[in-house]
Amino acid sequence: MRRLLRNSFLIGMCSLQAHSVLAAGAIEGEVTRQPVNQTAIIMFLIFVVATLFITWRASRATTTSSVFYNAGGQITGAQNGMAIAGDFMSAASFLGITGLMFIGGFDGLILSLGAFGAWPVLMFLFAKRVRNLGSFTFIDVISQRLERNPIRLVTAFSTIVVVVMYLIAQMVGAGKLIQLLFGLPYELALIIVSGLVLGYVAFGGMLATTWVQIIKAILLLTGVTLIAFLLLAKLDFSFSGLLKQATLSHPKGEAILSSGVIFKDPIQILTIQVSMLFGTVGLPHILMRLFTVPDMRQAKLSAYYASLFIGYFYIALLVLGFGAIAFVYNAPEFFDESGSLIGGSNMAAIHIASAVGGDVLTGFMSAVCFATILAVVAGLTLSGAAAISHDVYAEVLKQGEPDPKTELRLTRISVFLIGLAAVLLGIAFQHENVAFIATIPMVVSASVTFPMLLLSLFWGDFTTRGAIWGALVGLTTSIVLIVLGPQVWVSVLGNSEALFPYDYPALFTMPLAFGVMIMVSKLDASARAATDRDNYRALLWRAEFGESAPSGQAGSV
């Protein structure tokens, strides 16, 4: 009977998960608070003490805006690659992808490849040129050749939209996750997360944030390696044997080894791929990390090392996902009386840690998940604060000549306000379906940041007017189509059928934004457009060679 219930749970979840788990940011639905997990709390406290010590050390060096925003540009490529991995490998990746594989097997891997595919593009197109042109944020890069004030305001606005939405999804997910893993109340969990992040970012700036992300990445990679090793050891290190065991455990049998259990529509797959890849490339807190290294070569190495670590992570998740099917599905202790997986499908990764490593490994992985949330939220908070204090205050209001002490003070106030907003919004959205909120950052990033960055770096005819119109169209259509899509129109507003069939509209909104940017730029005959076009020559030279163009040469490029 219980097995029958489990089968119906899994089959029912297949349709639900297609909408909810894809929004890579949150634990969805109501969760049941679990008993207090002392092992996890002790391990987490060790992490907190270590990272606060690092923050204290970093705070003594963080005396200028430059050190605050980019750690003084002294992080090596390998360190930065690890920090990027720590910034990007969220709890949603670890828990959400393993959970999706637990339900649908191979189909869950679309999220892994989608997220991984961004790193080579970042390296081929942006790492070097962005590093050579910017100081603290990617907005520095775009505003170099285009009209400074309107471009900074539009891009800072889209950055804040991305950061706030990403933050809400992370905080709601964090509150629910900590309820599940640590047995702490939701509100207390949010206050702890926000308080620690305020400590890291406000006092230690990018330097402390970098080391928090590095430590977290090492812990997460160690954890998934250990689980994968123990899983394979149970089956004489035979990956094929693991797959065989998984097919015997899952109600869909061998169908989980290939596509079609969750997703049927190839267009839906393309929408996910486009949003994940181009959305990730344009995430402001990821791009900001490129400025923490001393030169363009280290920037390229950063992207390369990030690829190595993240690629390894997703291959390890492949083992964990099928391992969860093989060993959790047949273990009654992980299911409740109604036949549901305790904590929902996103807990499959934690249950597999319990199955192969007992309480100690469960505690360790729970602590790692908590650390993961801190690292991601810290990166987001820093990026949001930089958009306010650097891009808006220093560069727009003070025209690039701010009082350094005032700027640093404003940055710390911005960090505090973002932290406060994160707690309040996290509580406000506690009982809401936040899947759509987690979707917005990726789609907006793909439809606004990516086209602006690409065209400003690679197309000489790009103008301010084209950039602004394209960004506004990309931003508006992204939000409208998400509202008309299944995540809001059906799941939140309760309508029976969505007016737009896909969760991720970037497949349509990104080309539209590109089209508007190109068309308006081509038709733009203003005096400013001529300046924008003239600026490209010098910018291209500096982007590629890191130095100004020799007089009379750059014009013909």
Partner 1 sequence: MNVTEAELKQRTRRRFFFTGLHLCLYFSFSLNWTVWGSFLAERLGASHITGSLLMFISLILVFIGLESVFLWLSRQGERS
- Considering beta carbons, is residue 143 or 273 the nearer one to partner 1? 273
Residue in the block written with tokens 């720590």: 86
- Choices 18-26, 29-37, 120-128, 415-423 (CB under 8 A): range interacting with partner 1: 120-128
Q: What are phi and psi of 184, to 5 degrees?
A: -95, 150
Sole binder of partner 1 in the list 33, 57, 234, 297 (CB under 8 A): 297
Two tokens at 446? 């793909």
For residue 140, CA distances in Å to 130, 390, 456 come to 9, 10, 11
Helix residue ranges, H only, 118-238: 118-121, 127-133, 138-142, 148-182, 186-198, 204-233
Q: Which listed residue (258, 495, 526, 548) binds partner 1 by CB under 8 A?
A: 258
- C-beta of 77 vs 357, nearer to partner 1: 77
d(C-alpha 354, C-alpha 362), whole Å = 5
Residues 6 or more apart from 398 whose CB is under 8 A from it? Answer: 407
Tell me the number of residues near partner 1 by CB under 8 A.
53
Q: Which range touches partner 1 (CB under 8 A), out of 220-228, 265-273, 387-395, 497-505?
A: 265-273
Instruction: Give the SS3 label for residue 341.
Output: strand
H/E segment holding residue 412: helix 404-428
Which residue matches tokens 């089956």?
235
What residues are paired with 102 via a beta bridge? none
CA atoms within a 13 Å half-sphere pointing along the CA-CB vector of 368: 29
Q: Contact 420/384 with Cβ under 8 angstroms?
A: no
Q: Does 544 bind partner 1 (CB under 8 A)?
A: yes
Angle between helix axes 464-484 and 450-458 (nearest 10 degrees) is 160
Query: Is residue 123 involved in binding partner 1 (CB under 8 A)?
Result: yes
3-state secondary structure of 135: coil
And the tokens for 406?
């005032």
Judged by CB under 8 A, which of 48, 50, 52, 125 binds partner 1?
A: 125
Binding track over 276-295 against partner 1, x by CB under 8 A = -x------------------
Q: Which stretch binds partner 1 (CB under 8 A): 3-11, 28-36, 301-309, 405-413?
A: 301-309
In the block, tokens 């506690």 appear at 430
Residue from 94, 102, 119, 489 in contact with partner 1 (CB under 8 A): 119
Q: Which residue, 496 or 556, has its beta carbon nearer to partner 1? A: 556
* Binding window for partner 1 (CB under 8 A); candidates: 4-12, 27-35, 233-241, 326-334: 233-241
- Choose the stretch contacting partner 1; rule: CB under 8 A; options: 102-110, 199-207, 396-404, 511-519: 102-110
- Beta carbon of residue 70, minimum distance to partner 1 (angstroms, whole number): 23
Residue 237 interacts with partner 1 (CB under 8 A)? no
What is the spatial distance between Cα 347 and Cα 94, in angstroms, rounded to a whole number?
10
Report the residue from 303, 435, 437, 488 that binds partner 1 according to the rule CB under 8 A: 303
269 binds partner 1 (CB under 8 A): yes
The piece of 218-226, 305-313, 349-357, 492-500 that touches partner 1 (CB under 8 A) is 305-313
Q: Choose one: 237-245, 324-332, 355-363, 487-495; the region binding partner 1 (CB under 8 A).
A: 237-245
DSSP string covering 468-531: HHHHHHHHHHHHHHHHHSIIIIITTT--SS-SS--S-THHHHHHHHHHHHHHHHHH--SHHHHH
Q: Is residue 117 a contact point for partner 1 (CB under 8 A)?
A: yes
- Give the residue with the Cβ less far from partner 1, 170 or 302: 302
Q: Which of residues 307-336 bind partner 1 (CB under 8 A)?
A: 307-308, 311, 314-315, 318
Q: How far is 403 from 395, CA to CA, in rounded Å? A: 11
Contact status: 473 vs partner 1 (CB under 8 A): no
Q: Summarize as ranges the residues that interact with partner 1 (CB under 8 A).
A: 106, 109-110, 112-113, 116-117, 119-121, 123-125, 128, 239-241, 243-244, 247, 254, 257-260, 263-266, 269-270, 273, 277, 297, 300-301, 303-304, 307-308, 311, 314-315, 318, 458, 540-541, 544-545, 550, 553, 556-557
